[in-house]
Chains A and B, each alone.
Chain A
Amino acid sequence: MADSGEYEGDDGGSVRELCVNGACMKAAEVEAKLDEGNIQEAESSLREGLSLNFEEARALLGRLEYQRGNVEGALRVFDGIDLHAAIQRLQPSFSEKSASKKCRSRSDSHVSVSQHAASLVLEAIYLKAKSLQKLGRLTEAANECKSVLDAVERIFQQGIPDAQVDNRLQETVSRAVELLPELWKQVGCDHDALAAYRRAVLSQWNLDNECCARIQKRFAVFLLHSGVEAGPPSLGSQVEGSYAPKNNLEEAILLLLILMKKYHLGKIKWDPAVMEHLTYALSLCSQTSILAKQLEEIMPGVFLRSDRWNALALCYSAIGQNDAALNLLRKSLHKHERPHDLMALLLAAKICSEDCHLAAEGIQYARTALSNAQGKDEHLKGVGLRMLGLCLGRHAKVSSSDYERSRLQSEALKSLDGASTFENNNADLFFDLGVHYAEQRNLSTALRYAKQYIDATGGSVLKGWKLLALVLSAQQRFSEAEVVTDAALDETTKWEQGPILRLKAKLKIAQALPMDAIETYRYLLALVQAQRKSFGPLRCLSQIEDDKVNEFQVWHGLANLYSGLSHWKDVAICMGKARELKAYSAEMLHTEGVMHEGCGQTHEALRAYINALLIEPSYVPCKVLVGSLFSKLGPKALPVARSLLSDALRIEPTNRKAWYYLGLVHKDDGRIADAADCFQAASMLEESDPIESFSSIA
C-alpha cells in the first residue's frame, strides 16, 4: 500500500499522503495545521482520520515534518512524546526475561506486537537524533542515537531475532548503528566514536552485509588514521582461542582482511578503497608478501591485469624477491599489455641493473623509459638516465671484448653524467658516479663525487665513508684515508663499526703497521663477543647474515694479515676459527693456498686454489694464483697459465697481479715487448690500487 504512492507521478512533495490501516489522509491538510503552529490540532485530526493513538499520531507527524525538511518542527513534535517512558513499557518484565532465556522464541503474536510498537518508538527517537544532527546539535544527537541502541539492547536481550524481524525496525536499528560513530566523530569525541564502532562490530545487530561492511571499513580507517590508540578490545568480547588484535594496526588490518574475504565470497560489492587502505597498512609494516597474497586472490576483472602485475611486482621486489618481480614486469611490459608504463620500466631496469646477466635487458627498459618520460612525467628523465647508466656499467662487466667494455663504460658514464643535469640534488647519483669513476681509476673525479655524496647525505650513510676511504687509499693517501675511517667511526654506533674497522686494519697493513692492525682486529673480536652477549647465541640464519660485525670476515682478515707476515701457525689458527663459521668459502681457500705456497707445498696450494674455483668459478684472486703456479711449472704449462691469466683479466681488468704474472709468462715465452706492456700496466695499476675492491661497496 505504501509502495503504491511512489509510482504516482514525480511532481515533488505536493500530493503526499499519510496512510495507516487502509485509511488515507492528504498530507497537505495536516501540514496546513502544522504551519499554523498548532501541533495538537494536527495530531487530533490524525487520530480521528486514521484512528491512531497519541504516540502513533505524534510519530507520524514527526516523520512528516522531518521529511518535508522542517527539522525544528519535527523536534517540537517528538519532544511532546515521552519516548523514554515508552521504552520502559516495551522492556520485557522479569518473568519474561527468565522465560526467554530458556526458550528463545516467544509467542509469535507477542513478538510482532512488541516489534511494531518498538519500531514506532525507536524510529521516532532516531528521527529526533537525525533532526538534532541537521541542526548541528551533535552531542545531543549522539546521545539520542545512543539511546536507540541502548533501548534495542534492553528490549531484545537475546539479540534481534533475524528470522522474524520487522523490516522497518531492522532498518532503524541498522541506521542508528551506522550513524552513532559518525556523530561522535563529528563531535570530535574520538574515544566515544571508538566505543561506538566496537559496539557496532562486536554486538549482534543483524546488519545486512553491505551495512556491516561500510561500518567495518570506516572503523578500519578510523583505527588507521585517527591517531587515537584504541587498546585491545575488552576481555568480554574475546573468545578462547580466537585472535584478538592488540593495537590499532593489527585491528585495522584484521578488519580489512575480513572485508576482502567477504568480497571473495560474493557477500559484498568490490570497494577499491579497501584494497588501498590495506596496501597502505601492509606496506607500512613491510608485510608486502601478505599484500601479494591478497592481490593474487582477487578475481580477474577487478583490476586491469597489468596493474595487478605491477602491484605484485612492487610487493615482491619490496621483500627482495626480485626474480618473481621481474617475471611479472616482463608480463606487464609485453607489447600487448602496457609496454610504456614508466613505473614498471624503471623498476625492471633497477632490478636488472643489480645483476650483470640481466643488465643487457635492463638497458632496453631504461631506454624505453627515457623515451617515454615526457609531459608530466618529464621529471623522471633523470631517473631513466641513471638506470641506463647503471645497467650499462653492469653490462660492461660481462662484455666479451676490451673494445666493447670500454665503449659500454664510457656510455655508462655519459648517462650518469647526463642524469646529474636532471637530478642535481640526488645524493645516490653522486655515489654511483663516484663508484664508476673509481672503477675506471679516474680517482680525482671519484674523490670529488665521494665527498659530494658525504656532504649531501650529511655523512649518514656508511657506504659513503667507505667509498671515500677506498678512493684515498687508491691514491696511496693512507693517512688521510685513516682520518676518514676515524671520522666514520665517530659517526657510527658500535654495532655498525665492523666494516669500517676492517677497513682501518687494512689501512694499517698498507702502511706496514701490522701490530696496529692486529690491535684493531683484537678490538673487532671483542665487539663480536659483546654482540654475542647482548643478542644471545640463539639467532636464526637471517640474523647471522645481518650481523653488523661479521665474525667470519674478522678471522679471515686476521688470517690474511698473519699470512702477509708469514706467521703460518697463526694463519692456521685463524683459518680454523673462520671455518667453524663458514665451512666452504673461496676466500678462505685462497688464504689456505697462500699458506701452503708460503710453506713450499705447491701441490696443496694448487688443490686449495682449484677447490676455491670450484666453489666460485669466477673468483679472480685464485685464478691469478693458479696462473702464477702454472707459469712456474715449465714451458709446457705456459699456455695454460696465459689463458688463466687472460681470463682473470677479462673478469677484472684492473687486477695488477694478473698483469704482472702475465708479464712473466710473456717474458718466459720470449715476447719481451708484450711483457713490458704488461709490467707497465701492473705498475700503473699498483699506483691506483685500493685496499679493497671498489665493487665491494655497492
Chain B
Amino acid sequence: MSDTKAETAYKSLSSILTNTPPSSQNPASSLLYDPEISSQVSALLRHPNSGAGDDNLCRWLYDTFQSSDPQLQLVVVRFLPIIAGVYLSRVTLRKPLAGFEAVLLALYSHETTSRKGQSLTVNVPDLSHPSIYHESKASSKNNATDLNLAVISPSLEPHGTVRSTRRARIVGVALELYYSKIPQMPVGSKIEFCEFCQAWAGQDGDMRKDGNGGDEAINQKVGISKEGRIPLPWELLQPVLRILGHCLLGSNKKNRELYEAACCASRSLYARSLHDINPNAILATGSLVRLAKMGLDSQNDQVDHTEVPWTRVISL
C-alpha cells in the first residue's frame, strides 16, 4: 500500500524536476537520501520565485505530507530547513508565499494533532528528594509540590492561515517536529539548517578572528547576513537551539562538515544574542560555543579509559 504511495509520489516529483531521476527500487528511501534529488529540490526551493500559491513543488510537498505515510512525511520534514529558511528570510519582501505557508501549516497541524494540542513540560528535579539515580535523606513528604514545572512548548491552537504574529510560533512548532525526527534526517538537511541559522542571525560571529575561510567566504557570509536577518523570538530560537545542539554535540561528530557548520551557526547565534542582549539566549548559545571549543581542545589529549593499560610485565 505505502509502496504504491511512494511510487506515485516519486513519479509526480519526477515530472516537476528538470533532470528526471531514474526509476528507483525503493522510492521512499531515494526521496529521502538521494543527493541528486535533494539538490534539485533544494535548488527549486531556493529559486527567487518559489513558494507562491501555485508552486508545483510546494503542492507536491503538501500532498506528500498529507499522504500520512510516515516514510514519505519524513521526506517533507527533510526539506523543512530550506522551506523555513527561505520563507522567513523572504517574508519581509512581501512576495506571495502561500505555497510555503501551506506546507508549514500542514506540519504545524500534524504536530498539533499528535500532541492533542497539549503543551510540553519539564519537571526540573530537586535533589533533596531521592530519584532513581540517587538517594536522599529528606525522603518523601509531598515531593510533587517542590518540582519546578517548566513549559518548553506551550499548548497549541489550530491555525488555518499564517497570521504574522503567529508566524514564528508556527515555524517553531514545525521545527519541534523536525527535532523529533532528527535521527532519521540526512546530514545534508542538517547542514542546510546550520547555514540558515547563520543567515537568520545576520551576524558573522567572530569568524574574522579565526582566519579560516578566505575573504570570499566572509563576503559570502556578509551577503547572507544582509539578506536573511530575521527577528528571533524565543518561540523560534528555542527549537532552533535544540536542533543546533544535536548538530554540534549529537552522535554525528564523525561528519566534519556538519560539525563545522554547527560551530559557525553557534558563533553567529551567540553574536546575535549579544546584539539583542537577550540573557537566556546568551546563556544557551554561549554554552554551545564553549562546548564546541572544549570539544576541539580535548580532541587530541583525551584519555581512553576503556583501554587496557600497557604494562612491561604481563601477568595473570
User: Which A residues are within 8 Å of any B CB, using their own CB?
Assistant: 1-6, 8, 15-20, 24, 27, 52, 56, 59-60, 63-64, 66-67, 120, 126-127, 130, 175, 178-179, 182, 185, 188, 190, 193, 201-202, 211, 214, 216, 221-222, 224-229, 233, 237-239, 241-247, 249-250, 253-255, 257-258, 261, 272-273, 276-277, 279-280, 282-291, 311, 313-315, 317-318, 325, 342-343, 346-347, 350, 376, 379-380, 382-383, 387, 423, 425-428, 455-462, 490-493, 496
A227 to B316, Cβ gap below 8 A?
A: no
B314 to A253, Cβ gap below 8 A?
A: no
The residue in chain A whose Cβ has the minimal distance to the Cβ of B181 is A227
B276 contacts the other chain (Cβ, under 8 Å)? yes
Against A, the Cβ 8 Å flags (1 = close, 0 = not) of B198-236 are 000011101011000000000000000110010101100
CA–CA, A258 and B127, complex, Å: 7
The residue in chain A whose Cβ has the minimal distance to the Cβ of B310 is A67
CB distance from B197 to the nearest CB of A (A): 15
A283 to B287, Cβ gap below 8 A?
A: yes
Chain B residues closer than 8 Å to A67, beta-carbon distance: 308, 310-311, 314
A285-B122, A460-B168, A491-B164 known; A425 vs B226 contact (CB < 8 Å)? yes
The 7 lowest CB-CB distance pairs between A and B, nearest first, are A5-B313, A241-B140, A5-B312, A227-B182, A458-B91, A318-B279, A285-B150
Chain B residues closer than 8 Å to A279, beta-carbon distance: 283-284, 286-287
A222-B251, A225-B250, A376-B208 known; A287 vs B124 contact (CB < 8 Å)? yes
The residue in chain A whose Cβ has the minimal distance to the Cβ of B163 is A491
CB distance from B283 to the nearest CB of A (A): 4
B139 to A241, Cβ gap below 8 A?
A: yes
CB distance from A119 to the nearest CB of B (A): 8
B17 contacts the other chain (Cβ, under 8 Å)? no
Q: Which B residues from 229 to 264 make CB contacts under 8 A with A?
A: 229, 231, 233-234, 238, 241-242, 245-246, 248-251
The residue in chain A whose Cβ has the minimal distance to the Cβ of B165 is A492
**Seed contacts A127-B308, A224-B249; 19 additional CB < 8 Å A-B pairs:** A2-B311, A24-B313, A63-B314, A193-B251, A216-B133, A226-B251, A245-B125, A247-B122, A276-B290, A283-B280, A283-B284, A284-B152, A287-B122, A314-B283, A315-B279, A315-B283, A458-B231, A462-B165, A496-B165
The residue in chain B whose Cβ has the minimal distance to the Cβ of A50 is B316
B46 contacts the other chain (Cβ, under 8 Å)? no
A56 to B316, Cβ gap below 8 A?
A: yes
A254 to B287, Cβ gap below 8 A?
A: no
Chain A residues closer than 8 Å to B242, beta-carbon distance: 284
Chain B residues closer than 8 Å to A426, beta-carbon distance: 229, 275
Most chain A beta-carbon neighbours within 10 Å: one of B124, B229, B245: B124
CA–CA, A214 and B298, complex, Å: 15
CA–CA, A569 and B277, complex, Å: 50
Q: Which B residues from 290 to 316 make CB contacts under 8 A with A?
A: 290-291, 294, 305-308, 310-316
B280 to A286, Cβ gap below 8 A?
A: yes
CB distance from A208 to the nearest CB of B (A): 11
Chain A residues closer than 8 Å to B133, beta-carbon distance: 201-202, 216, 254-255, 258
Chain A residues closer than 8 Å to B139, beta-carbon distance: 241
Contact partner of B306 among A27, A130, A193, A455, CB < 8 A?
Answer: A130
The residue in chain A whose Cβ has the minimal distance to the Cβ of B242 is A284
Most chain B beta-carbon neighbours within 10 Å: one of A249, A258, A313: A249
Q: Which B residues from 178 to 196 make CB contacts under 8 A with A?
A: 179-180, 182-183
Interchain Cβ contacts under 8 Å between A and B, 18 examples = A2-B315, A64-B314, A175-B305, A178-B306, A214-B305, A216-B133, A241-B140, A250-B125, A253-B124, A272-B290, A286-B280, A288-B279, A288-B283, A343-B282, A455-B92, A457-B92, A458-B167, A491-B164
A241-B139, A250-B123, A343-B274 known; A277 vs B313 contact (CB < 8 Å)? no
A284 to B284, Cβ gap below 8 A?
A: yes
B183 to A346, Cβ gap below 8 A?
A: no
A347 to B315, Cβ gap below 8 A?
A: no
Contact partner of B274 among A6, A253, A380, CB < 8 A?
Answer: A380
Chain A residues closer than 8 Å to B315, beta-carbon distance: 1-2, 18-20
A459 to B164, Cβ gap below 8 A?
A: yes
Chain A residues closer than 8 Å to B204, beta-carbon distance: 379
A27-B314, A67-B314, A376-B209 known; A241 vs B130 contact (CB < 8 Å)? yes
The residue in chain B whose Cβ has the minimal distance to the Cβ of A8 is B312
CA–CA, A383 and B271, complex, Å: 11
Against A, the Cβ 8 Å flags (1 = close, 0 = not) of B113-133 are 000000000111101011111
Contact partner of B129 among A24, A242, A280, A284, CB < 8 A?
Answer: A242
B157 contacts the other chain (Cβ, under 8 Å)? yes
A490 to B163, Cβ gap below 8 A?
A: yes
A249-B152, A280-B287, A285-B150 known; A226 vs B313 contact (CB < 8 Å)? no
CB distance from A316 to the nearest CB of B (A): 8
A20 to B316, Cβ gap below 8 A?
A: yes
CA–CA, A459 and B274, complex, Å: 24
Contact partner of A227 among B132, B179, B290, CB < 8 A?
Answer: B179
CB distance from A293 to the nearest CB of B (A): 10
CB distance from B298 to the nearest CB of A (A): 9
CB distance from B101 to the nearest CB of A (A): 12
The residue in chain B whose Cβ has the minimal distance to the Cβ of A215 is B305
CA–CA, A425 and B89, complex, Å: 12
CB distance from B39 to the nearest CB of A (A): 24
A190-B183, A458-B91 known; A379 vs B271 contact (CB < 8 Å)? yes
CA–CA, A295 and B241, complex, Å: 22
CA–CA, A263 and B259, complex, Å: 30
A8-B312, A291-B283 known; A493 vs B157 contact (CB < 8 Å)? yes
A243-B130, A261-B127 known; A226 vs B250 contact (CB < 8 Å)? yes
Chain B residues closer than 8 Å to A224, beta-carbon distance: 245, 249
B288 contacts the other chain (Cβ, under 8 Å)? yes
Q: Which B residues from 22 to 42 make CB contacts under 8 A with A?
A: none
B277 to A383, Cβ gap below 8 A?
A: yes
B183 to A60, Cβ gap below 8 A?
A: no
A227-B246, A254-B131, A286-B150 known; A493 vs B165 contact (CB < 8 Å)? yes
B143 contacts the other chain (Cβ, under 8 Å)? yes
B203 to A379, Cβ gap below 8 A?
A: yes
CA–CA, A179 and B305, complex, Å: 9
Contact partner of B305 among A193, A211, A425, CB < 8 A?
Answer: A211
A285 to B124, Cβ gap below 8 A?
A: yes
Q: Which B residues from 151 to 169 make CB contacts under 8 A with A?
A: 152, 157, 159, 163-168
B15 contacts the other chain (Cβ, under 8 Å)? no
CA–CA, A245 and B311, complex, Å: 43
CA–CA, A387 and B277, complex, Å: 10
Contact partner of A376 among B164, B206, B248, B316, CB < 8 A?
Answer: B206
CA–CA, A317 and B309, complex, Å: 49
CA–CA, A64 and B305, complex, Å: 19
B68 contacts the other chain (Cβ, under 8 Å)? no
Chain B residues closer than 8 Å to A239, beta-carbon distance: 130, 132
CA–CA, A157 and B231, complex, Å: 58
B134 contacts the other chain (Cβ, under 8 Å)? yes
B287 to A276, Cβ gap below 8 A?
A: yes
Chain B residues closer than 8 Å to A284, beta-carbon distance: 152, 238, 241-242, 284
CA–CA, A64 and B312, complex, Å: 10
Most chain A beta-carbon neighbours within 10 Å: one of B124, B133, B179, B291: B133
Chain A residues closer than 8 Å to B316, beta-carbon distance: 20, 52, 56, 59-60, 120
CB distance from A90 to the nearest CB of B (A): 16
CA–CA, A426 and B274, complex, Å: 13
CB distance from B41 to the nearest CB of A (A): 23
The residue in chain B whose Cβ has the minimal distance to the Cβ of A252 is B122
CA–CA, A66 and B310, complex, Å: 10
A458 to B183, Cβ gap below 8 A?
A: no
CB distance from A174 to the nearest CB of B (A): 8
A228-B183, A287-B150 known; A458 vs B92 contact (CB < 8 Å)? yes
B311 to A6, Cβ gap below 8 A?
A: yes
Most chain B beta-carbon neighbours within 10 Å: one of A6, A228, A284, A492: A284
CB distance from B19 to the nearest CB of A (A): 31
CB distance from B113 to the nearest CB of A (A): 18
